[in-house]
Structure 1
Amino acid sequence: MPELPEVAALADFLDEHLRGTVVTKIQIASFAVLKTADPPFSELEGRTVTGVQRFGKFISMEADGLFFVFHLARAGWVRFTDTPTEIQLKMGKGPLAARLLFTGASGLLGLDLTEAGTKKGLAVYVVRDPHDVPGIATLGPDPFAPGFDVHTFAEILGSSSQQVKGLLRSQAVIAGIGNAYSDEILHAARTSPFAIAKSLDRDAVQVLYDAIHSILGTALTEAQGKPPSQLKDTKRNHMRVHARTGEACPVCGDTVREVSFADTALQYCPTCQTKGKILADRRTSRFLK
């Protein structure tokens, strides 16, 4: 799933390449992906793109007062080309969810939204205000927002009995962090994913706050300026524990472990994060005895 660094890079890339172009044509290849009906998506056609920005994991493209907003979910992605095809799409269950064509100074440009797998979650909204999208309206603070200081973060943690892994992933609490970067942040902070948020003392809160900005800041720098085709590999190459089950922790050399759930998994280092304890690979127990 693309998270804050990749979504920010995508938004910047699309803003650079699409700002000033005219929306020529929009095709929806799966009506399940379109979550709004008013205004109709066809109203975007003929309008000029005035900017693209990020809200959490959402990307919003403005075109003369209307907004084309999308969320890539777990397996969605963006395919951008300067040699697009204008062929009429057929409705179906394939990976192509939507296609947008733009006319700019250099000619025709194309943007495809695709989604792999059978479990579909990619969502498209056409709205008059990005905050009309429910997921945007309920977003928590962005980690890089001016008001998100360590005191604000301490208040968030101190009022929650949730496990810190789940809290970091909650978009209503903090916007933009998902499964992968929460693993990386907790590893950098040497914090157990099962630690209860309000149990963390001031020093631990500060370390976790610093880890959020260090991990996400480095990832943002690495992703900046890269085209969509390179962002997935860039993300994978800089992960230290996420998706590294069975490999050696780059910090201490211990084996990276995994906890699997019904539809997701987390990775962590026992030495760095849980004082050597192995977390049980099941939801009903915290530790293997």
Structure 2
Amino acid sequence: MPEVPEVEALREFLDERLVGKEIVRVLPLTVNALKTYDPPLSAVEGATVTSVGRRGKYLDVVAGDAGLHLAIHLARAGWLRWKDSFPPQPPRPGKGPLALRVVLAEGDGFDLTEAGTTKRLAVHLVRELPDVPGIATLGPEPLDDSFDRDAFAALLAGERRQLKGALRDQRLIAGIGNAYSDEILHVAKMSPFKPVHNMSEDEITVLYEAMRTTLTDAVERTRGVAAGLLKSEKKSGLRVHGRAGEPCPVCGDTIRQVSFADSSLQYCPTCQTGGKLLADRRLSRLLK
């Protein structure tokens, strides 16, 4: 799933290619993708794109004098593919991974695609961005200048969850997902299962700085990377996430994994848990 760094890179990529151009066609190709009906997608056809923004994991394409917002959430298996041109015949709805197509007056544009059978990619056309329910409940942006250490500490006050779950909660902090929460905790040298309420003031500072540096470095690393290369760039820059069984780049210990029903986390025992292996209930059941 694309997170803050990748969605920010996509925002910059689209900003260079969309702003000032006219949208001539928005074609939904799956029943699941479009989540709104008023205003209709035809309301942005003929409109000029004025800006491309980002909120959390959402892209925000703003078009027309009315400033309509085409809000895009790529979910776990979605992606954006830029096209310099399109075939003369439109694709058949419901065939293949295509979810939505946006065509510009110059003949270029982009496709939204989603792999797999679980369809979670979401497109909303709204008059105001907070009209999208998922955006209305988002927490602060982790890289905003106003989101300082004290603001971070205030968010964590009263939390009873484990660190991994708290960092991934979009209502708490916008845009951090499974991959970068693993990376942040590795940089901070903290267990993903550590209870938030057990953290000292110094540990809150360490976690905050790890969050800022990890995300800032990733944003800089992806800046200017073409949309089609962002997935591989993300994977190459990760130190522990998705690298179970490989050596930790810091200490050389073997990176371990904990599996859940639909996801997994990776961590380094030496760096993060004092050498202790975290219980993997799925593996324990298989071994019985």
With the shorter chain as reference, the TM-score category is: over 0.9
Cα distance between partner residues in 2 of 1:212 and 1:48: 37
Alignment of 1:232-243 (within 5 A): 232-243=231-242
CA RMSD of aligned residues (A): 1.3
Q: 1:93 deviation in Å?
A: 4.8
Q: Deviations over 1:94-131 (max 9, x none)?
A: 2100001012xxx3212000001111100000111111
| Residue 83 of structure 1: aligned partner | 85
User: Partner of 2:35: helix, strand, or coil?
Assistant: coil
| Residue 177 of structure 1: aligned partner | 176
Instruction: Write the letter of the residue equivalent to 1:82.
Output: D
Cα distance between partner residues in 1 of 2:144 and 2:87: 39
| Residue 71 of structure 1: aligned partner | 73
Cα distance between partner residues in 2 of 1:171 and 1:85: 38
TM-score, normalised by the number of residues in structure 2: 0.95
Query: Quick check: 1:158–1:199 contact (8 Å CA) kept in 2?
Result: no
User: Partner of 1:33: helix, strand, or coil?
Assistant: coil
| Residue 226 of structure 1: aligned partner | 225
Instruction: Write the letter of the residue equivalent to 2:63.
Output: A
TM-score, normalised by the number of residues in structure 1: 0.95
| Residue 141 of structure 1: aligned partner | 140
User: Partner of 1:38: helix, strand, or coil?
Assistant: coil
| Residue 60 of structure 2: aligned partner | 60
Cα distance between partner residues in 1 of 2:111 and 2:2: 16
Q: Deviations over 1:198-238 (max 9, x none)?
A: 11101111111000011100000011111101111110001
Query: Quick check: 2:166–2:172 contact (8 Å CA) kept in 1?
Result: yes
Alignment of 1:116-265 (within 5 A): 116-265=115-264
Out of 78-87 and 234-243, give the one that drifted further.
Answer: 78-87
Q: 1:243 deviation in Å?
A: 0.2
Instruction: Write the letter of the residue equivalent to 1:69.
Output: A
| Residue 115 of structure 1: aligned partner | 114
Q: 1:158 deviation in Å?
A: 2.4
Cα distance between partner residues in 1 of 2:265 and 2:88: 42
Could you list the structure 1 runs, at least 4 aligned residues long, displaced by more than 3 angstroms after superposition.
none
Query: Quick check: 1:27–1:89 contact (8 Å CA) kept in 2?
Result: no
Q: Kindly indicate whether residue 41 of structure 2 is the aligned counterpart of residue 41 of structure 1.
A: yes
Instruction: Write the letter of the residue equivalent to 2:176.
Output: I
| Residue 21 of structure 2: aligned partner | 21
Cα distance between partner residues in 2 of 1:32 and 1:190: 40
User: Partner of 1:124: helix, strand, or coil?
Assistant: strand
| Residue 99 of structure 1: aligned partner | 101
Instruction: Write the letter of the residue equivalent to 1:83.
Output: S
Cα distance between partner residues in 2 of 1:150 and 1:183: 20
Distance 1:280 1:93, change over 3 A: farther
Cα distance between partner residues in 2 of 1:101 and 1:24: 6
Instruction: Write the letter of the residue equivalent to 1:88.
Output: P
Cα distance between partner residues in 1 of 2:95 and 2:146: 43
Q: 1:88 deviation in Å?
A: 1.8
Query: Quick check: 2:32–2:120 contact (8 Å CA) kept in 1?
Result: no
Query: Quick check: 1:53–1:60 contact (8 Å CA) kept in 2?
Result: yes
Q: 1:83 deviation in Å?
A: 2.0
Instruction: Write the letter of the residue equivalent to 2:26.
Output: I
Cα distance between partner residues in 2 of 1:82 and 1:14: 13
User: Partner of 1:99: helix, strand, or coil?
Assistant: strand
Instruction: Write the letter of the residue equivalent to 2:36.
Output: T
Out of 88-97 and 189-198, give the one that drifted further.
Answer: 88-97
Q: Deviations over 1:225-276 (max 9, x none)?
A: 1110111111000111000000000101110000000000000000100010
Query: Quick check: 1:29–1:98 contact (8 Å CA) kept in 2?
Result: yes
Q: Deviations over 1:49-107 (max 9, x none)?
A: 0010000000010011211111000000000021222422212152100001012xxx3
Instruction: Write the letter of the residue equivalent to 2:97.
Output: P
Instruction: Write the letter of the residue equivalent to 1:184.
Output: E
Query: Quick check: 2:183–2:238 contact (8 Å CA) kept in 1?
Result: yes
User: Partner of 2:108: helix, strand, or coil?
Assistant: strand
Cα distance between partner residues in 2 of 1:110 and 1:38: 23
User: Partner of 2:111: helix, strand, or coil?
Assistant: strand
Instruction: Write the letter of the residue equivalent to 2:92.
Output: K
